Structure 1
């Protein structure tokens, strides 16, 4: 069930103040009765991470890798992403950065009396948000698991976001066209070749890949606000846990979390080479850092497709806690 919490008088990076409504869902054990796992959604996702319509239901649920019989799973809609309706849209969206969203999340956690997180996990911008939260609260997260993302926006990412912005500002059908463009770099060329093999549709005579792009464009157009999409695209450009005042990897050394980096070998959005370099730099000064790589032809979207590989990577992190809490007979964690 979607719940609402108000963060009053929030001061954003531009120095402006406003009340911010945050919509969230809790899955599994009630707050206070299990280790808390914060799951951050990607660009056009929402708080519905589990259940029948959950976008990660293969990983989060009863008996799943992130077992809702054991864990309290918390997922927030990124405020301003429009998932709460037209009132949940920031028209002053360029006043905000991803670091602001992390500060809003920290205040939500405080209001919910959550003093620690067993894990913070997310793919793409959701993983980057996990990085930002860990940089803001270095002692908060036991296991930081950023998937298909990095602690800073690269020039390549900034370039794509600029093209997205131009489409959103100038197209006659901005949401449809921007989404169609985005899908071409969320997937790898080999993924599209394997899926479509230059087939044409017998009804309209168009290549099936064209129909697929059109479908995704129209689908997003039917459920997303233009201003919200502009906002989320803008947030991608603000990924930088250092706030542009130092090397991001230097800031990351202060994070106490066990850091589990996960890349995708075919990712054309957040290159695995960049994530490997982050691992190399941090492993020189931190022992509690690991690197894993999903092997897939599907590109950036593989974290929403390759569930078996992802489960194999995540199982060692979540399995021990599952066994421990089964032995503890799941007594309220606040009573220990």
Structure 2
């Protein structure tokens, strides 16, 4: 039996999770050059897949054409016309289950990513906690493709070349004649956000070295206001949020020397582009399987578990535990600065 030639990959959201799938798909098409992939996801994520050979993007329209159950039937009909051979469901939620099951009923082989919910529940339990690493999401995705007959080797990943920045971007960033450090100080939940007064200390210290230029990432008026405060009149700190399109933001990130991020989407975006990433962890923990791709564990700076033994208290950072709101204060700014400086060699 010949190998499937056209794989449908489903991963509808969220930003970090979609970004984590990118290195796996890039490795797959490089190792199986005869294979074509169609990725189904939200339109916003299309730039993640630009330039990857043999990868097409199908933008799902969950607000109109593909809304509700009838919309999912239309989505199946739309996708079926593409000549799909097998389906890899990397999301494993109700919507993606409906689509993959419709393909299965039509005779196509399907596989889905096991999210390891029991292991994650044991890791974050407040009683009888099992504090050990669970399988990383990229490894789970690799297992999904193995079920479809594709063994993927991630030991020597290839990354895209650094993007050539447009003049409009260079007007904001300036030419690159310094080390470029990205800082993304926000996350969806407060339990994953490093206290801004401590982040201010990190930025103030790093800017003392004029060979370093810092770019601040975020989105929305409230975050931009806080980023402007963090900029603190430093001539070598630039607020990027709200100034360039998302696609151009990815181009800028690809040119960074280091990205300092929370456990959030920006960490995974930088990692998928081959940038060195330092992450700060509060309520969550890299043992849950969401550490950035191809990054050493020592680049994950975690809160003190001797002082806060119930950590991690959550997979996504959305659960509040009394007395644990200040856990990230145990990550000293000096330690963060030292890690950035050591990675830059300054």
Q: TM-score scaled by structure 1?
A: 0.33
Ranked by relative contact order (alpha carbons within 8 Å, sequence separation 6 or more), the top structure is 1
Q: Please say which structure displays the higher CA radius of gyration.
A: 2
Q: TM-score scaled by structure 2?
A: 0.32
